[in-house]
Chains A and B, each alone.
Chain A
């Protein structure tokens, strides 16, 4: 007998059938009574965007893969080679425990939600990064050093930039402090590429070089460059410039808009923050980038992606986790959430902290943890998220989800929908292939 695995617990509909399953079945004509108009109606209903609860999103991307069993999902009953050296500590939410090196986050656990059951099957850094940011499997092998790696499919930041657009003078999509490895616009083109500062806000003379106007005749020089660009574009008529010239023209336009805007320049000036606030976020790259992200969101940026590296802890992982990685992330995330709340921005700002994968539950022979994409925790705050909760669970070793497994598509769809974006919206690749923003997954109702 022909049978169909309709999935468990992921259905959007009351009969447990997901929209995707329904479409698949409908496509084969096996589901009695579901006509083509019915299918289209179903699709239309499924695609209806939510009312936006988030106008902006800040994504703290812990590149390399943070260890969930050491941070957010400790297993004190597991053997020592699994549970590691850390103790769990109580949080401000009764019955919820985090790792001992997340004390600041533990104090504000009621302000955010931990999704413990994020899981996928890509154990590569660059390929996993690509998957998490685009929802598409990487068309290249791991280890690719291209920046950005997503030269075909757009990243979540570029999707937001395209769908929500600019609010004011700031670019809608910004990467701090470096370009995100898979944060590019893909076939959306240069218009939706992130603005990248390529400068570390922790540095005392931090400034965004694209916003810096050279000393001596700045306005004159700038306007001359602008006139040159205009004349070049006029030579080409009304058609957009082809190839790289077009890309560069777009970048120049974006940069010119930024330089011309005092508000934008002010938003990037993290040194305007008082010392107490800067110390609250921590004088670390992640801390100061988070502070800068808050300023940018405050000024109208829609999506800030913070790329924070060195979470790939294969060897002797515990010293670097305890002394650098965990304290930096703990301070930065807790300060960001609290600061946003204090300013009344948390309701409209979605904060997400995650990596491209997790770490192996079992400690390896070199006292480190290796790549593990089967289970990782994702932190959500603000933007319509119901706070103070733990969503999903993993098994006794934090090796894989035992309930509510959440995939990459689910995450991306949820972020887009929280921002009021129709995640089913179709765009066409340069070769004419129709591609939805998110090709699969469901909205994570349990988060809201």
Chain B
């Protein structure tokens, strides 16, 4: 049986891509952020996952407002990055795992998650940068499956719904007859707001409470609706939906093998967690 061996949650802002391109990992501004990934890379080198399910939100590379799926799952043999308009270098293509993708789709739709399936899917910085943080040489040693959640256009799926999607993903992986070791990588957040007079909003208290809740009381954030999450975490801080989906996939109990929190990278409070299922 395939097994989810861990969940990783991290911020994904484009400025990370600029910092990588300019080799600023040891720059004083960036060092506290990049150094946070060293223990996660060590863990990955030890556990050697086969597949990474990347739970992320597209920012207008693959999807436009003409068609905006709430939940979409990739089912391609390969996923490519492309020019997003503001000039960070693209990264090498990612290998897909269509057989496992279709199994996940079958299982999720069977559980009444009415997905959009994508046999062609460009993956944006929210997918590529976290992968580049985990494998800086960009020689991806894993297959990937994109799971994309709409955070562009209201109404967004609720926090409670995203948590349930994660739980269903967990069951879907567990029912796959292969022996793959799977990591779920949820990207986005934490608190930040790019638009409006409220731009620059960051809520450290909320972020720290949210991170702790994923260990102690994982459904804590599901009490909030989207509007409340925007108020607490900012218009883009709502990307914590990816973290909740990831946490949902990990089962009842987890332990945190590592965490980091740093303000700011660009306009964002950055968070990082490595969670291991324990029950």
User: A and B: real partners?
Assistant: no
- Interface of A toward B, CB cutoff 8 Å: none
